[in-house]
Structure 1
């Protein structure tokens, strides 16, 4: 997902409204902001589509529709073929939106009511239907307009946000415009970058509308975009006389019968991330395969929690869950890991067992050594006792709730993975690609996280850096191998390049 924006912060709709109000209070008339928005959209359209056969602007009633009318008027001034498809009658438009409509009329824009307009057969579509204030599903007529836009197959420029997308959560309650380019105004909205946002926004090209930098001091957002350049300095350079004992010992616990590969992938990722020593506690039948694949890993076969217990005196931290399964053996492994008091990275079936409450009750999670949880949406739903749909309806609320319930740093995986900790700040990962939708990717991530914590990073910093490294490694691998055939182990060689 290509993003053109300098600020790392992401905003809710209400926060953007506050910035808009602060800019107006600071001396920029509201109509001037609308004209700037329309002009920014027009200039981006002409940059990407220099000679469109036709510009069809779908306009709603509010400020988003007004931005569209301004864009249409500017196109008419340039003698470009343009039409505005109107979803709200002129007599119902008020304020700046009505002024923008009058501007379009003055410039001779052909304005057609949606009910009378044929679907465009060529050119470029501009989506100015619904802005960032949408909550719930679009009304029937707007839904029909969105469906028409998508059915044309034409390229779409969305003004501020694709209509139908929730600006705060990235959820879609009904239909949503599928845009090739989105031009967010004033600031990036957090819903553009997680949930359905990455799938429907296309490229993001922010236009701040020349709002003074001091205006942004009026709002304190609680969400940030995570970038590799900003986070890599968390790893200090190694001293010339460093030895393996300085960089921790990661033990991966997992690999129930038939699932030894998951534990191996996590262990290899931990080693490639820079852990001083890496060991695996797994079913005995997996030991030979692990040693054959990666002899640097110390592999131990254990058949019970009793056999595991004495081995836990050696590691710096434990990664529990890759290939763990949900058998009595699995529960014994997790029980001993929690009993050890060591820092834990918990993934996969460790989370599912935890959610069932048999190993330790929820009340017991409040006081413990640092934990880092890495659920995907279904696992998050089990941890919270809700549905996966409810998690996806507000991923920000879900990741905060898990962090609070388990007193842990949490990575909620998926498009636009979210990273949360007890301090309340949430990070959004904007790197990564659809090729990561394959088995074992989470195992590699848990190993990366273990390797970072072993080297001295706290759980939250490890979560932020680890999630980004994982996504960036996938992007590098996809450049060389393509997305469709991407395997989890393909990421591991790229970890060294990034680190």
Structure 2
């Protein structure tokens, strides 16, 4: 990725990369225990900032450096006059290195340490999870699993140190069982696994503390991914030229709405109009034309009965449009197949969603293009890759990159923490909410992407912005009226406000 494209984006790293950053920092003259003290101090600051009225803590410590952070935090809390319950899953006399030094520091500060057992009762007002760090690469078992279960069922607020125990730092997958934290304070380099997969259900609010380590100063450690940021929007959507006209703003053609499946194409078309497309045409089954005119008369709707009507469609519209959105309500029958074949036969930029992706998997297994955007959810990604949904979700970054490698262009793997793989690398969107778990959300995204590609051209930036605006629009809608009952058609209104900052 070029610096110009990612200057406003936070870099994200793998656990191994953060370990290397840690190693180089120590080699540069910062003592390892001093870094541990910085981490504990940052975690303590997070506790005081988020829960200023708390007067007691339960700190659950594992056997590694993550546990060491917990021991030092316990000492800091005790020195501040707080009542501290320190719980060790691994006996103190079995600790080594900086973890042993940290445990001794807490003991010297007068903090007792009780061994974890099945009947342990948490006495603090909040729990600090310092059990397992980013080095975990296997399923959580034994006493650690029992401790995580107890933390999750204690009914108390939880702060996770560096990462919720049991969560994979590189993928966001749960390794058997993981802590559900209200907040996570993470150190040195931010981690991709805190923002995708199952992570949004476990990390709570993320508080990143670099501990004085300037990760991007190590140019040979290329970030695994980058995190989209709302601050990108003002620069990306400057005021329009006073002499702009619709011919400058892109012509989007939506192909979709097979007989009986009209709603999806209407949602995509309206989203494209609201995202500023100069012209939007809709090719749909004839019975949906009147509904389109009623819903959004600005969309130029054309009825297509079947394969015989595709050739005139190509002659009249495909040559005039700037980008084609195919898939919303397309169906997998003869009607949808003919429409997709016409789109693929063109050289226009494409946004493919829904049944266009299913047809791509079943009928066009070797089709590859550089000027398209594929937008699969995990089920569609699994069909395209010939994997199970569980395989895709076990390593979402690897899945989206595999699709990008096989099919070219840019690929958006939707879901919590949507991932975008393109020529510039991997990007994650940390926005969105569970209210988006309803029909039509992908259709709205497709229409937004079509509008932005039509206005700004096919680029990483256009695709990032489409995903970002879509997710933020859903968040704004949920803030106003709640997550339950959020409709895909609600997003167009909020998206329009976002692109007019």
User: 2:419, 2:426 within 8 Å by CA — same for their partners in 1?
Assistant: yes
Aligned to 1:445: 445
Cα distance, 1:459 vs structure 2: 4.0
3-state secondary structure, aligned to 2:397: helix
Q: 1:332 to 1:94 in 2, by over 3 A?
A: same
Cα distance, 1:53 vs structure 2: 4.7
3-state secondary structure, aligned to 1:485: coil
Is 1:170 equivalent to 2:172 in the alignment?
A: yes
Structure-2-length-normalised TM-score = 0.94
3-state secondary structure, aligned to 1:380: helix
Aligned to 2:4: none
Separation of aligned partners in 1, 2:440 and 2:189:
35
**Most deviating of 71-80 and 216-225:** 216-225
1:12 to 11, 14, 25: 14
The unaligned stretches of length 5 or more in structure 2 are 1-7
Instruction: For residues 22-54 of structure 1, give each alpha carbon's deviation from its aligned partner in whole angstroms, at most 9, with x where no partner exists.
Output: 211121100000011111111221222234353
Separation of aligned partners in 2, 1:212 and 1:9:
11
Aligned to 2:492: 492
User: 1:23, 1:215 within 8 Å by CA — same for their partners in 2?
Assistant: no
User: 1:374, 1:412 within 8 Å by CA — same for their partners in 2?
Assistant: yes
Separation of aligned partners in 1, 2:64 and 2:107:
17
Aligned to 1:434: 434
1:242 to 241, 244, 252: 244
Aligned to 2:43: 41
Q: How many residues are aligned here?
A: 488
Separation of aligned partners in 1, 2:265 and 2:235:
29
Cα distance, 1:121 vs structure 2: 5.0
Separation of aligned partners in 1, 2:343 and 2:118:
67
Matches within 5 A, 1:107-118: 107-115=109-117, 118=120
Aligned to 1:389: 390
User: 1:323, 1:348 within 8 Å by CA — same for their partners in 2?
Assistant: yes
User: 1:85, 1:117 within 8 Å by CA — same for their partners in 2?
Assistant: no
Separation of aligned partners in 2, 1:313 and 1:49:
60
User: 1:320, 1:347 within 8 Å by CA — same for their partners in 2?
Assistant: yes
Q: 1:213 to 1:329 in 2, by over 3 A?
A: closer
User: 1:372, 1:459 within 8 Å by CA — same for their partners in 2?
Assistant: no
Separation of aligned partners in 1, 2:319 and 2:79:
76
Separation of aligned partners in 1, 2:214 and 2:193:
24
User: 1:420, 1:426 within 8 Å by CA — same for their partners in 2?
Assistant: yes
3-state secondary structure, aligned to 1:184: strand
Q: 1:461 to 1:73 in 2, by over 3 A?
A: same
**Most deviating of 489-498 and 443-452:** 489-498
Aligned to 2:31: 29
Separation of aligned partners in 2, 1:37 and 1:238:
46
Aligned to 2:190: 188
Q: CA RMSD in A?
A: 1.6
Instruction: For residues 415-466 of structure 1, give each alpha carbon's deviation from its aligned partner in whole angstroms, at most 9, with x where no partner exists.
Output: 110011133x111101111111111111000000000111132142221010
Instruction: For residues 313-353 of structure 1, give each alpha carbon's deviation from its aligned partner in whole angstroms, at most 9, with x where no partner exists.
Output: 22211100001111111111111110122111000010011
Cα distance, 1:210 vs structure 2: 2.2
Cα distance, 1:116 vs structure 2: 6.9
3-state secondary structure, aligned to 1:206: strand
Separation of aligned partners in 1, 2:261 and 2:252:
19
Q: 1:277 to 1:100 in 2, by over 3 A?
A: same
Matches within 5 A, 1:379-418: 379-418=380-419
User: 2:250, 2:277 within 8 Å by CA — same for their partners in 1?
Assistant: yes
Aligned to 1:65: 67
3-state secondary structure, aligned to 1:101: helix
Aligned to 2:223: 221
Aligned to 1:346: 352
Aligned to 1:251: 253
Is 1:465 equivalent to 2:469 in the alignment?
A: no
The unaligned stretches of length 5 or more in structure 1 are 1-5
Matches within 5 A, 1:50-449: 50-115=52-117, 118-212=120-214, 215-217=217-219, 219-230=221-232, 232-235=234-237, 237-311=239-313, 312-356=318-362, 358=363, 360-362=364-366, 364-365=367-368, 368=369, 370-423=371-424, 425-449=425-449
User: 1:316, 1:342 within 8 Å by CA — same for their partners in 2?
Assistant: yes
Separation of aligned partners in 1, 2:301 and 2:207:
49
Separation of aligned partners in 2, 1:58 and 1:329:
60
